Structure 1
Amino acid sequence: MLNSAQEAVGEKFVLESMRHARDRTWDVVERVASKIQPGMLESEAVVECKRVLQDMEMERIWHPILIRFGENTLRTFKQPSEGDPRLKNDDIFFVDLGVVWQGHEGDSGATFVVGADAEMRACAQAAKTVFDEVEHHWRTTGAGGKALYDYAAERAHALGWKLNLDIKGHRVSDFPHAIYKAGKLGDFQPHPDAGLWILEIQIAHPTRPFGAFYEDLLV
Structure 2
Amino acid sequence: MWYAIIELNKMKTLILIIPLIGLLSCASKPESPQPVAAPPIVAEAPPAEPVPEPVAAPVEEVFDPATVTVQEYTVTKAEIERFVTALNGIVKAGNYNGWLAYLAKAYIDEISSPEFLDRMSKTAPRLVSQKIVLKSAQDYFNHVIVPSRANSRVDDIEFVTHTRVKAITENRITKERLRLYELERIDDLWKIVN
Same fold (TM over 0.5): no
Higher relative strand content: 1
Structure number with larger C-alpha Rg: 2
RCO higher in 1 or 2 (8 Å CA, sep ≥ 6)? 1
More helix per residue: 2
Give the TM-score, by structure 1 length. 0.28
TM-score (norm 2): 0.30
